Structure 1
Amino acid sequence: MTVSNGVNGHKNTAGLLNWSYFKNVVNGELETTTNTRHSINPATGEPGPEVPVATLDDVERTLNAAKAASEKWSEVPYSERQNAMLAYADALEVEKENFSQILTQEQGKPLVFARLEVDLAIHWMRTIAKLELPEERVVEDDKEIIVRFTPLGVTVGIVPWNYPILLAAGKIAPSVMAGCPIVVKPSPFTPAGDLKLVELAQPFFPPGVVQVLSGDDSLGPILTEHPIPAKISFTGSTFTGKKVMESASKTLKRVTLELGGNDPAIVTDDVDIAAVAAKVAGLAFLNSGQICLALKRIFVQESIADKFLEAMVEATKTLKVGPGTEPDVYLGPIQNQMQFEKVKTLFADIQTEKWKVAVGGSGKGPEGKGYFITPTIIDRPQLDSRIVKDEPFGPIVPFLTFKDDEEAIRLANDTQMGLGASVWSNDVERANRIARKLHAGNVWVNTHFELDPRFPFGGHKESGIGTEWGVDGLKSFCNSQTLYLKKVPA
């Protein structure tokens, strides 16, 4: 059954939450603030729901509640934490359609991909809940050596606007499982879904364990500089990540930074051109290119370059641009006006740099108020051009070529980023050989962007510090402690 609840006109499936309001969660209580703000629906320009703007007092009360909760939550048996997280994931599954609708409304992505994001969030929560953090033990004649992992303390999770539900869940789950209360700070561009995600957690965890503060641009620095948090888990741009690291250094907070990417795809001359070109186009323009792991530099072997480009152009032309509520849409809008204007500067370079446009090129999408951009491929720009060197975070990519494997590796590694990369070839041994020489934290063969919460995820170079997810990700929320226990009396 569906009910209309007045949240900007979209219908919501009856579930566990009341979707007529969006509030901060402080010490288990729902709170609003005197001043409120709202996001903008990037497909229509209409205002989103009103959300709080946290004050300094809100921050102090929230962090002190988290600190108080930390003492008790760190002592809760791991099996009880697992049961609570699994129950929380079940509740999210009940509310899947409501979260999908709000994702499309405030983030802009097509509804089919919004539903997929919520499915992934549920999968991440369940999988991370089932990971274990066993003690490491060595027994010798005169002593026993034990390495154990103890909770760091309070975590601040700073969530971006491109995958707000998945990435919030991907911070909440390991932090809470490791015994660390977490304060979630949503992006000001996509606050509503994360406010509800944390509200949904309240029946399953003690007050103060999972909290959320919506705010403006001043909130992040206040949280990262505050002395109470022991760790900052940040996903966002490399520029902002450096600011977070600088701020956290004042109290030597631990940081996990998942930052930007400039992911290359290396396509060798033995591939099925039509099939691979369609996959590469889809992965370059997924989420309108607004993914740190999206393909952003396409390197194709010279002998097939023209045919591959032709096939990629044809595949790109089939990708429908429009509001995420319309059927068969693949590219929704750019999420916010600031990013929209930034991406459009690359289209201005087409004229000044005399780039050759293979498809797209206008920087425009469907008529209306939305931040739409038609997917665009630039044919063989200069290797030192901005479209090659910088991360566009929008639906525009350079098409480049290479002569042999050595050149492909050199060109792919010629970047300050190192988040992801992929190799596409029918010769799997050749592809695996190339993959091992790429300087990136995540490398795929004959696919891209397939992540697994059982394994660590992180970047090389300026794409990040530390890793998320997997057992290594759990450990990043812990101090390691080595106990040397003598068996003989003093």
Structure 2
Amino acid sequence: MTFELTIDGAGETTATFIDIVDPSTGAVTARAPCAGAAELDRAVAAARRAFPAWRETPPDERRRLVGGLGDILAAHAEELVALDILEGGKPHAVAAPVLDLAVQWVKALATLEIPVRVLDDNPDRRVEVHHEPLGVVGAIAPWNFPVFLSVWKLASALIAGCTVVLKPSPLAPLAVLRMGSLIRDQFPKGVVNVLSGDDALGPLMTAHEGFDKISFTGSTATGRKVMESAAPTLKRLTLELGGNDAALVFPDVSLDAVAPALFWSAMGNSGQVCIATKRIYVHDDIYDDFIRAMRLQIDATTMGPGGQPGAMLGPIQNAPQFQRLQSLLADCRANAYKLHQGTAPDGNGYFIPATLVENPPHDSRIVREEQFGPILPIVRFSTEDEAIALANDSPMGLTATVWTQDMARARRVAQRLQSGNVWINEASALSPFVPFGGRKQSGVGVENALDGILEYTAVKAITVRTA
């Protein structure tokens, strides 16, 4: 299959390309166009030309067209899932449900209307608050869930009345490029543009004067660079960044229920999820039993290439992340931390076995750093206050979970955790109708729900003196 950029409603290719590696084998299996400054300038110009008419398109029509995007994704689900398996290494049991979620997300967001708030209405004066689209948005998506996290940005920006230049990660651009080609006729020319490129394209976007807003999902380190690059033009920003997400497990839980739920909250997609459980704090009274239950989960889990029938965990998506995880494992071994590991395929693929790290110190790398892979530290605690202090002692604050049958304690602990989202007795419970965003160095702004759509608008207060 030939993959194209989408600029001003048409397909384009480039003189240079980027190689796409299958992480299950380490082999190059495809290539994608490598857009540079010239292609970016033309895409931004197209989005700028399209903006006035799109802004004036009735909101109901914009929402109808966005809902139709969901229909297109559903109609081409098999093809998009196959691309996600190829470039992401995901097992089919992961890739297919995530594509279904993307369809549900688009259709759900398309039901949300932007209200006009009336703050005052009396015989002398009426005060209204309107939300107007910001303009042209640069949307930068990550490599772990390319289509799903792209449509978070795309749907909200389009509903708000903005036009978009969407850039997938150079490590996983194929499914997003294909989505761009599939939806060219769904929107007016220039409203949606899709560019792939190497590591130089992102900085060109964040510094480009033609963008009114940048919406970025990725690491905290890159988020800092995005903010710095956007500062000269004071672009509006949404940054959904890293998380070192803590789970607190109290002694009154049912281990039969909690261990599988926490195992998959940590290991799903081989841990390559921003909201994955990255560190678990378990009360002393049940620590040993919890470890035994988690070991059983690892021993029952099959890791293999995305196309392998029955595979539950796949490879790490890219070589740099694979090497970073190897470094974390080497540090654990050098410090003689107790490990329990599953099995991983031999060969040239980027496979890291599912690994438990038993009670490492609080200042260890595996506890302090976001691993973004299937290596999970499990740490003891004695008191509620200790657990909260350990969970909060991090520069990140994306999500957290609390596991207990005592609802008074659950609510009390949740209120004290410094995270943008806290889930009680469940994990990763995202919804298109619930705002999602991080605290501290886990991000700026929110995505999803009406709050996320409003991130693509500017507030205008109109006061009419009627007397």
Which residue of 337, 344, 352 corresponds with 1:373? Answer: 352
Are the counterparts in 2 of residues 160 and 187 from structure 1 also a CA contact under 8 Å? yes
2:460 corresponds in structure 1 to 481
After superposition, residues 455-470 of structure 1 pair within 5 angstroms as: 455-470=434-449
- Report the RMSD for the aligned CA atoms in angstroms: 1.0
CA distance in 2, matches of 1:357, 1:45: 27
After superposition, residues 272-291 of structure 1 pair within 5 angstroms as: 272-291=254-273
Are the counterparts in 1 of residues 332 and 366 from structure 2 also a CA contact under 8 Å? no
Are the counterparts in 1 of residues 261 and 427 from structure 2 also a CA contact under 8 Å? no
CA distance in 1, matches of 2:104, 2:45: 31
CA distance in 2, matches of 1:164, 1:26: 19
2:433 matches 1:454? yes
Are the counterparts in 2 of residues 88 and 200 from structure 1 also a CA contact under 8 Å? no
CA distance in 2, matches of 1:281, 1:200: 37
Are the counterparts in 2 of residues 102 and 192 from structure 1 also a CA contact under 8 Å? yes
CA distance in 2, matches of 1:118, 1:92: 8
2:331 corresponds in structure 1 to 349
CA distance in 2, matches of 1:478, 1:113: 34
Amino acid at match of 1:32: T
Amino acid at match of 2:95: A
Which residue of 130, 140, 163 corresponds with 1:148? Answer: 130
Which residue of 403, 408, 428 corresponds with 2:382? Answer: 403
Which residue of 341, 361, 370 corresponds with 1:382? Answer: 361
CA distance in 2, matches of 1:230, 1:38: 31
Q: Is the partner of 1:125 in helix, strand or coil?
A: helix
2:178 corresponds in structure 1 to 196
CA distance in 2, matches of 1:40, 1:384: 35
1:48 corresponds in structure 2 to 29
Are the counterparts in 2 of residues 175 and 181 from structure 1 also a CA contact under 8 Å? yes
Q: Provide Cα deviations, 1:332-369, integer angstroms capped at 9, x if missing partner.
A: 00000010001100111123212111335xxx720122
Which residue of 11, 14, 34 corresponds with 1:33? Answer: 14
Flag the structure with more relative contact order, 1 or 2, with Cα contacts below 8 A and sequence separation at least 6: 2
CA distance in 2, matches of 1:38, 1:48: 8
CA distance in 2, matches of 1:172, 1:325: 29
Structure 1 unaligned blocks of 5 or more: 1-19
CA distance in 2, matches of 1:278, 1:469: 28
Are the counterparts in 2 of residues 456 and 467 from structure 1 also a CA contact under 8 Å? yes
After superposition, residues 60-139 of structure 1 pair within 5 angstroms as: 60-137=41-118, 138-139=120-121
Which residue of 16, 34, 40 corresponds with 1:59? Answer: 40
CA distance in 2, matches of 1:343, 1:373: 8
Q: Is the partner of 2:185 in helix, strand or coil?
A: helix
1:5 corresponds in structure 2 to none
Amino acid at match of 2:340: A
Are the counterparts in 2 of residues 22 and 49 from structure 1 also a CA contact under 8 Å? no
CA distance in 1, matches of 2:460, 2:29: 47
Are the counterparts in 2 of residues 379 and 400 from structure 1 also a CA contact under 8 Å? yes
TM-score, normalising length from structure 2? 0.98
Are the counterparts in 2 of residues 282 and 316 from structure 1 also a CA contact under 8 Å? no
Amino acid at match of 1:135: V
Q: Provide Cα deviations, 1:366-394, integer angstroms capped at 9, x if missing partner.
A: 01221001100111111101100000111
Amino acid at match of 1:412: A
Are the counterparts in 2 of residues 320 and 328 from structure 1 also a CA contact under 8 Å? yes
Structure 2 unaligned blocks of 5 or more: none
Which residue of 222, 238, 242 corresponds with 2:224? Answer: 242
CA distance in 2, matches of 1:412, 1:279: 19
Of the structure 1 ranges 91-100 and 425-434, higher mean CA displacement relative to structure 2 is found in 425-434
Q: Provide Cα deviations, 1:299-335, integer angstroms capped at 9, x if missing partner.
A: 0000110011111111111111100111221210000
Which residue of 315, 336, 358 corresponds with 1:333? Answer: 315
CA distance in 1, matches of 2:291, 2:78: 38
CA distance in 1, matches of 2:239, 2:85: 26
TM-score, normalising length from structure 1? 0.94
Q: Is the partner of 1:436 in helix, strand or coil?
A: helix
Q: Is the partner of 2:441 in helix, strand or coil?
A: helix
Amino acid at match of 1:62: A
2:310 matches 1:324? no
CA distance in 2, matches of 1:280, 1:69: 46
Q: Is the partner of 2:81 in helix, strand or coil?
A: helix
Q: Is the partner of 2:177 in helix, strand or coil?
A: helix
Q: Is the partner of 1:204 in helix, strand or coil?
A: coil
Which residue of 264, 273, 291 corresponds with 2:246? Answer: 264
Q: Provide Cα deviations, 1:377-430, integer angstroms capped at 9, x if missing partner.
A: 111111101100000111101110111211111111111110000011122222
Give aligned-pair identity as a percent: 43
Runs of 4+ in 1 over 6 A off after TM superposition: none
Are the counterparts in 1 of residues 136 and 211 from structure 2 also a CA contact under 8 Å? yes
Task: Work out the number of aligned pairs and report it.
Answer: 466
Q: Provide Cα deviations, 1:434-458, integer angstroms capped at 9, x if missing partner.
A: 1111110010001110100112100
Q: CA deviation at 1:198?
A: 1.5
CA distance in 2, matches of 1:351, 1:78: 57
CA distance in 1, matches of 2:18, 2:362: 43
CA distance in 1, matches of 2:186, 2:117: 30
Amino acid at match of 2:143: W
Q: Provide Cα deviations, 1:75-115, integer angstroms capped at 9, x if missing partner.
A: 00000011111112111101011111100010111111111
Which residue of 358, 371, 390 corresponds with 2:340? Answer: 358
